[in-house]
Amino acid sequence: MKVSIATLLLCVTPCLSLVATETSNAASSFKDHSASIKEHRGNYFQGRPQQHQFPHRDHRKNVYIRSSSNETDDISAEFLAGIKKANHGGTLVLENGKQYVIGQKLDLTFLDDIHIQLDGQILFTDDIEYWQNNNFFHPFQNSITFWQWGGNDIVIQGKGEINGNGQAWYDGFARGEILDPNNQYLRPALFTAVNATGLSIQGITMRNSPCWANFLITSKDIYYDDVLIEAQSINKNLPKNSDCWDTYNVDGLTVTNSRVNIGDDCFSAKPNTTNIFLQNLWCNGTHGVSMGSIGQYPGVMDIIENVYIENITMLNAQNGARLKTWAGPNIGYGRINNVTYKDFYVDNVDYPLILTQCYSTNKTECAKHPSEVNFSNITFLSFSGMSSGKRGRLTAEVICSPNAVCENIFMEDIDIHSPAGEPAVVTCDGVTGDIGIDCVAANSTQARDALATTIDSGSL
């Protein structure tokens, strides 16, 4: 019997119950609080998958190309020819048990109604010198890619994989940092879509990307379902910046029933991403399901809006649910609005729930030059599980900027515990209004006491 990822995730997500109040005066305050919950529940963003009508054809011609005879047998020219032949209504078939080596950059932005039946393996060469001199460049964080896909109605499906051959890149970038302004060691994303409308990726594996696994740019109506994304090293040089999904100027993205085992963001919406639907994700060893970072570039307005995230299992992670914006002397501005996290389970997670407007900035610099990105209508519903204890008894942290609006931040049924002991503590600074649960200031005695119980988590 085949068991879906959705079923597995539902099995591991524990049921939650409301905790009774303990003081004699609690009845009246709980009544008032219940009223606020009811009022808020009517307003929180309840997203749904985007809809796109892909063309239906009773028959599609199948196109086959030769496979590679070894890992240096580059069939880039044959792959491009096959794509062109299958375009406008056909299917390029990449057969099970066969390997297709790509060693040249490919511009695939001309596509129209094409299917890729990927049951074999696409493998990129690890010729670092070639790829650093021959790639497609995007100025956002100096991003490069092996190839770029674009056009209309593109379907990639099957049980095969796209493999970035990342080990040589992990070794070469062992001491590098992607946000270092002097970094010249650029690493390609594994899959990039540019100006695509209607892109569906289903069933495949994406393995060992040199950098981000998916970079989606200026695109609309994108779907991922039942995909596995992994990045693993065979030595001490771990993958870096191996985000699974990064978006830039994207409207309409649905990711469902997928598994992630990497060392950076399980999901990371970047500037100007709207209408996101995430459901049934299993993330191990990641930096969380993140909104942002945004506000990085001086004078530029960034937006993330209308996001619904449901049924997430987050294991052995640095963060769980995270929203992050830049601060500093030369930054941008904008907003993160209408975001809902619902049914979120954590285990061994350093920061299970964190909203921060000091991303990539130390406390002193952040205090001098706070973020200018507004946060509004952010909802966290039904969180459960166990932190790592790296933050002691702190399990949720909301730190807002004095330079920006931070309002309608709401939490309900937050039942996260810590191996460092009880009670769990939530901190909140700079938020306008009641967040729905008890919280204390980050510099309070309760917060300092909670941090004093910090234990070595051994997580990322």
Under 8 Å between Cβ of 332 and 326 = yes
Strand, coil or helix: 115: strand
Measured distance between the N- and C-terminal CA atoms of the chain, rounded to whole angstroms: 35
Q: How far apart are CA 417 and CA 385, in angstroms?
A: 6
Q: Is 113 a catalytic residue?
A: no
Closest by CA position to 103, among listed 136, 125, 83: 125
Query: Considering 264, 343, 350, 413, which one is annotated as catalytic?
Result: 264
SS3 content of the chain, % helix, strand, coil (to 5): 15, 45, 40
Q: Give the position of tokens 């690890």.
A: 126
Give me the phi and psi of 8, to 5 degrees please: -60, -45
Compute the CA torsion angle 411, 417, 421, 422 (nearest 10 deg).
40
Q: Please list, in sequence order, all residues whose beta carbon lies within 8 angstroms of the beta carbon of residue 78, skipping any fewer than 6 positions away.
A: 65, 66
Under 8 Å between Cβ of 317 and 288 = yes
Start-end of H helices in 101-215: 128-133, 167-172
DSSP β-bridge partners for residue 217: 194, 248
Give me the phi and psi of 224, to 5 degrees please: -125, 135
Pairing of strands 373-387, 406-417: parallel
User: What tokens does 181 get?
Assistant: 């302004």
Query: Considering 113, 221, 243, 287, which one is annotated as catalytic?
Result: 287
Cα 225 to Cα 201, 203, 263: the distances in Å are 7, 7, 21
Q: How far apart are CA 226 and CA 229, in angstroms?
A: 10
Chain centroid to CA 220: 17
- Lay out the sheet containing 143-145: strands in order across: 136-138, 143-145, 188-189
Q: Is 287 a catalytic residue?
A: yes
Q: Give the position of tokens 């063309």.
A: 55
Active site residues per annotation: 264, 287
